[in-house]
Chain A
Amino acid sequence: MKKIITLVRRELWEHKKGFITLPLICTFILTILLSLAFIRFAPDQIAENISSQSGLPTTPPTTSASNPLSSISSTITSSSTSTVTGSSATTTSINTKIQSTSESTTDPDTSNLDQQFSAFSTLPMDELPLFSQINAFKSSTGFVGLSMFALSVMLVFVMLIVSLNYAHRTLFDDRKNREILFWRSMPVSETQNLATKLFMIYGLAPLVALILISIGALACWLTAITQVSGDSLAVLGIFLQPLKIYKNILLLLLALLPLITWSLLASAYAKKSPFLLSTFLPLGLMFADRLINEALGINLYIRAIINGYTEYLAHFLRALQNGTNALHISTLWPVIVVSTVFAVTTVWLRNNRYEI
């Protein structure tokens, strides 16, 4: 166990930037952007903005769900069908329109907010800023949910890039730099070595994503409760969502296992560029398969296998999206078998092919 922990630490020392620093920076930036967007376009802020332009009180009269702000938000949401950019010029234009509309339709002697805000519905909705049209910006719960979704998408994307890059480089770079002479002077088998590298992708990367999604969402929640009043504790239930996201990341990575192990195999085999090898070898084989099929009528089934896998991935993603069970053992066994073949070949190559 001590050896395995040490091997993982070694990988972390070498790949800290990819697996920790980069996702951390991306999470930080996205959290800041989301928080700023919420602060700018949160219901209270919109009300404040409108009030300052129309001479209304800066604080809405109530904070309950039935307050006028809610109707504005729902009007905005129900009316908007297209997306616009939220440039400052557009915002100024809108504010001017709010003001002019308010002035033209409001009786100066009355302070009926409903009347004030009903003017809003006459505005051209396709010119409103993007964020103000999103339901999520109306409540802390919605905002935290949106933040979690945005962070998840971003982190899954980042982690996939990092993991694929890692899988392509990790068994190539030590040979290229001759560091392998040092690593192989230690009593560590290539099976342990490969298992550690798979752990980095299947254990560490999703765990880092889970932690960062939770931390980012927590920061967004803290931003939200300082901006909008309401039942801030009700939002806490949403913090169970990262576990579901974590499960989906693991399922996605499981579906990608052949791709990851193929990249590791390319990394162990390549003399110059593992990425080119892992990309162009399958493409070349598909091309050759097609040529042979057309010229000689012989089917090598390479195109069929690769197309079948891409269809499987598409099916898998749809199943994840729909929330249906994506993990069918009947469709999973070829993935496991192919991945095992790639992994075993990788270990064999590391043990037998390489000569210092």
Chain B
Amino acid sequence: MNWVIQGQNLRKTYADKTALDGIDLNLPAGRIVGLIGPNGAGKTTLLKGILGLTPIEGNLSVLGFNPYTQRTQMLEHVSFIADTAILPRWLKVKEALVYVEGVHEKFNRAKALDFLAKTQIKLTDTVKNLSKGMVTQLHLALIMAIDSQLLVLDEPTLGLDILYRKQFYESLLNDYYEKQKTLLITTHQVEEIEGILTDLIFINNGKIVLNMPMEELPNRFTVLQVDLAHTETARALNPIYSRNLLGNIFMLFEQPDFAALTPLGQLSTPSVADIFVAKMQNSH
């Protein structure tokens, strides 16, 4: 298999906190992976390690490069947004285009201009005169116009309104994504990326608590809206999470026994957000 990221036993400790606790992570090419975790779970540390912004213990290879010692060569093939709205305030839009075009061989100016044409941003604008959302749009336009093999986005739509968020994810799929490219996205707005993900990774307390392809989700997890008469029977089947909502009881099962569950109520496929909440509670 053509691996984009290969990491074994990845560890990172700060003074009194373990940010990464022996993580194994292997991502094949051509996937759109959602890395999801609560604040302080270790996802930003993991991304920083993948991007060579911080040294981490263990064996880590990104497109065959050691991200820490071969960062510059690696960045010829990897692009990322580690934080949006951090473009230099003095920079003009046209200067930003000239800069990225000058330092990155795989930058496509026409593509960036296409992205910008869908916004209200003018080439003569200076970053300090743009709203936070527009700065994010500019940053995304610059990064998405780079024809890289791996695109890492850390909270890419933070601060954007829902219209542009939808437009961004559509654009990501239609204009950027190709079979050879891999996208690694972290976000708290799980519902918005659920539809575009091919793989799902949950991380908590420095450990990966879930790593699976999205197509496995319907078979691996199910939600049972329990008939009240069968509540105790359903509870005996060890749901990983249950909640009461408007008098109805919902139970989430991992690796469910569909034959046993079907008579107990109505089954449905859970959302990523439901699974996330369940997994996070169980991993504490």
A binding-site residues for B, Cβ under 8 Å: 2-3, 5-7, 9-10, 13-14, 174, 177-179, 181-182, 184-189, 352, 355-356
With both chains docked as a complex, state the minimum distance between the C-beta of B231 and any C-beta of chain A, in angstroms. 49
Partner of B86, one of A5, A6, A181, A187: A181
Contact call B99/A181, Cβ cutoff below 8 A: no
List B residues 42-59 near A (Cβ within 8 Å). 48, 51, 53-55
- Given contacts A13-B91, A186-B75, are A178 and B102 in contact (CB under 8 A)? no
- Given contacts A9-B98, A178-B86, A182-B88, are A187 and B48 in contact (CB under 8 A)? no
Contact call B103/A187, Cβ cutoff below 8 A: yes
Residues of B within 8 A of A184 (CB): 53, 82
Given A185-B75, A186-B103; 5 other pairs, CB 8 A cutoff: A3-B103, A7-B102, A13-B95, A182-B88, A355-B48
* Cα-based distance from A182 to B95 in the complex (angstroms): 14
* Cα-based distance from A174 to B53 in the complex (angstroms): 15
Contact call B103/A185, Cβ cutoff below 8 A: no
List B residues 39-89 near A (Cβ within 8 Å). 48, 51, 53-55, 71-73, 75-76, 79-83, 86-89
In the complex, what residue of chain B is closest to A188 when comparing beta carbons?
A: B103
With both chains docked as a complex, state the minimum distance between the C-beta of B220 and any C-beta of chain A, in angstroms. 35
User: Interface residues of A: mostly helix, strand, loop or mixed?
Assistant: helix
* Cα-based distance from A143 to B54 in the complex (angstroms): 60
B104 on interface, CB distance cutoff 8 Å: yes
Residues of B within 8 A of A14 (CB): 88, 90
* Cα-based distance from A174 to B86 in the complex (angstroms): 10
* Cα-based distance from A158 to B86 in the complex (angstroms): 32
B100 on interface, CB distance cutoff 8 Å: yes
Contact call A187/B104, Cβ cutoff below 8 A: yes
* Cα-based distance from A187 to B63 in the complex (angstroms): 15
Q: With a 10 A CB-CB cut-off, give which of B48, B95, B102 has the most chain A CB atoms.
A: B102
Partner of A6, one of B53, B81, B88, B99: B99
With both chains docked as a complex, state the minimum distance between the C-beta of A336 and any C-beta of chain B, in angstroms. 26
With both chains docked as a complex, state the minimum distance between the C-beta of B18 and any C-beta of chain A, in angstroms. 16
Partner of A186, one of B98, B100, B139: B100
Q: What would 25 A/B residue contacts be, using CB atoms closer than 8 Å? A: A2-B102, A3-B102, A3-B103, A6-B99, A6-B101, A6-B102, A7-B103, A9-B98, A9-B99, A13-B92, A13-B95, A14-B88, A14-B90, A174-B88, A177-B89, A178-B86, A179-B88, A181-B83, A182-B86, A185-B79, A185-B82, A186-B99, A186-B103, A187-B103, A188-B72
* Cα-based distance from A100 to B73 in the complex (angstroms): 84
B185 on interface, CB distance cutoff 8 Å: no
* Cα-based distance from A199 to B91 in the complex (angstroms): 21
In the complex, what residue of chain B is closest to A352 when comparing beta carbons?
A: B55
Residues of B within 8 A of A7 (CB): 102-103
Contact call A355/B91, Cβ cutoff below 8 A: no
Residues of B within 8 A of A179 (CB): 86-88
* Cα-based distance from A352 to B69 in the complex (angstroms): 10
B36 on interface, CB distance cutoff 8 Å: no
In the complex, what residue of chain B is closest to A192 when comparing beta carbons?
A: B72
